[in-house]
Amino acid sequence: MGPVDQRTIDWNDGAVVIVDQCALPGAHRKLRLETVTELIDAIQRLAIRGAPALGAAGALGVALAARRHEHASDVEREAERLAQARPTAVNLAWGVRRALAKLPSGASAVLDEALSLLDEDEKLCRQASGHAAELILRECARRPLRLLTHCNAGRLATVSWGTALGVVWHLHAAGQVEYVLVDETRPLLQGARLTAWELAEVGVPYRVLPDVAAASAIARGLVDCVVVGADRIAANGDVANKVGTYGLALAAARHRIPFVVVAPSSTVDAATPSGELIEIEERAADEVTTWGGVRTAPAGAPVFNPAFDVTPAELVTAVVTEHGPG
Ligand code: MRU
């Protein structure tokens, strides 16, 4: 059994329609985005987020621009703004470039390309996570498996299936999952809000834990394997993913459990030789200094709020794409 067969992002009657991830888990509602400016705002607020979903957003955004503007230079300007909406996930610029390449053939060719990218995303995520599930069954002796994941790499982070959670869907269908430990994922709680919601939807047993409890859960032998997604994988195999991932990789290495990264090959950035060259998005201070609208740090407290970190390749057991373990 996998996630509900519903797209996180799609095209409907001239607009991009997304599941509003800022509203979950309280409300499941959709947003209709009719301009590139609205789409950029949704991306920056994380109403649509996760590397593969951002690739789809990039491509569909170019389709919006191509319908609206007559001159190629205007579409290209909008595409550039969109590609820069968030810097770390390489999929966003990749999706923009792929759709933009069809502009000389007209707006409907751009839309067709974007829609085929969406179809592919589901297929490639299913394949990548299927390969990763097989790898984990080979690497881990214990049955059923106890997995730990970080952030949200589920259907909400992709068009409709997921990467790290895609692995869970495959293993759960085979009766091989005892539970998933879900890092809450400070400061925006993608784990607590979104991953927990997806696991509950499918009926997979899980527990949410504070990020700071993950290392001790691993040390206490409560985890057989850590499985995460990625925002950009450098040519040397270094992996940028949600901040906190690097610490998990260190703990996994120290306690000799596999640390598996699952992503479609659109997340691999051959043009970036190594992880230190990946731009890490820094987000607003109030994400760290407030809690539910209430200030939790002194007024004006200086903040370090990187949205991602880089895990060196040597700590990664395998990067698994649709082509299998790399
Ligand atoms: O800031 P976010 O929520 O967009 O960060 C998302 C992640 O870090 C995911 O782990 C990554 O994009 C992989 S999603 C399949």
Say how many C-beta atoms besides its own lie within 10 A of residue 168's C-beta: 29
Ligand 1 centre from 156 Cα, in Å?
A: 10
Residue type, 218: I
Query: What are 244-257's pLDDT values in tens digits?
Result: 999 999 999 999 99
User: CB of 151 closer than 6 A to ligand 1?
Assistant: yes
The per-residue pLDDT for 79 is: 98
Place 74 in a pLDDT band, splitting at 50, 70 and 90. very high
Place 68 in a pLDDT band, splitting at 50, 70 and 90. very high
Q: For 168-187, what is the mean pLDDT?
A: 98
The per-residue pLDDT for 1 is: 56
Residue from 190, 316, 319 whose mutation best tests the ligand 1 pocket (most atoms within 8 A of CB): 190
For the chain, what percent of residues have pLDDT higher than 90?
Answer: 97
Query: What are 2-33's pLDDT values in tens digits?
Result: 677 789 999 999 999 999 999 999 999 999 99
User: CB of 50 closer than 6 A to ligand 1?
Assistant: yes
Q: For 49-53, what is the mean pLDDT?
A: 98
The β-bridge partners of 315 are none
CA 162 to ligand 1: nearest atom:
15
Catalytic pick among 183, 231, 269, 309: 231
User: CB of 21 closer than 6 A to ligand 1?
Assistant: no
Query: What are 97-124's pLDDT values in tens digits?
Result: 999 999 999 999 999 999 999 999 999 9
Residue from 24, 186, 231, 268 whose mutation best tests the ligand 1 pocket (most atoms within 8 A of CB): 231
Ligand 1 centre from 230 Cα, in Å?
A: 7
pTM above 0.85, yes or no: yes
Residues in the chain: 326
User: CB of 241 closer than 6 A to ligand 1?
Assistant: yes
Ligand 1 centre from 231 Cα, in Å?
A: 6
User: CB of 186 closer than 6 A to ligand 1?
Assistant: no
CA 241 to ligand 1: nearest atom:
8
Is 231 an annotated catalytic residue? yes
User: CB of 49 closer than 6 A to ligand 1?
Assistant: yes
User: CB of 230 closer than 6 A to ligand 1?
Assistant: yes
Name the pairing type of β-strands 290-291 and 239-242: unpaired
The per-residue pLDDT for 5 is: 73
Ligand 1 centre from 186 Cα, in Å?
A: 13
Query: What are 211-256's pLDDT values in tens digits?
Result: 999 999 999 999 999 999 999 999 999 999 999 999 999 999 999 9
CA 52 to ligand 1: nearest atom:
15
Query: What are 267-290's pLDDT values in tens digits?
Result: 999 999 999 999 999 999 999 999
Ligand 1 centre from 50 Cα, in Å?
A: 4
Domain map (residue ranges) of the chain = 3-121, 135-325
| Choices 3.40.50.300, 1.20.120.420, 2.40.70.10, 3.10.20.600: CATH for 3-121 | 1.20.120.420
The per-residue pLDDT for 265 is: 98
User: CB of 46 closer than 6 A to ligand 1?
Assistant: yes
| Choices 2.40.340.10, 3.40.50.10470, 3.10.28.10, 1.10.8.10: CATH for 135-325 | 3.40.50.10470
Q: Is the pLDDT of residue 320 over 60?
A: yes
- The CA-atom distances, in angstroms, between 81 and each of 17, 105, 137, 254 are 20, 22, 43, 42
> For every residue of the chain, which 3-state class applies, written as one string?
CCCCCCCCEEEECCEEEEECCCCCCCCCCEEEECCHHHHHHHHHCCCCCCHHHHHHHHHHHHHHHHHHCCCHHHHHHHHHHHHCCCCCCHHHHHHHHHHHCCHHHCHHHHHHHHHHHHHHHHHHHHHHHHHHHHHHHHHCCCCCEEEEECCCCCHHHCCCCCCHHHHHHHHHHCCCEEEEEEECCCCCCHHHHHHHHHHHHHCCCEEEECHHHHHHHHHCCCCCEEEECCCEEECCCCEEEECCHHHHHHHHHHCCCCEEEECCHHHEECCCCCHHHCCCCECCCHHHHEECCEECCCCCCCCCCECEEEECHHHCCEEEECCEEC
User: CB of 307 closer than 6 A to ligand 1?
Assistant: yes
Residues 6+ away with beta carbon under 8 Å from 310: 238, 239, 240, 246, 275, 276, 278, 280
Residues 6+ away with beta carbon under 8 Å from 134: none
Query: What are 144-154's pLDDT values in tens digits?
Result: 999 999 999 99
Residues 6+ away with beta carbon under 8 Å from 150: 183, 185, 191, 211, 214, 226, 228, 241, 242, 244, 245, 248
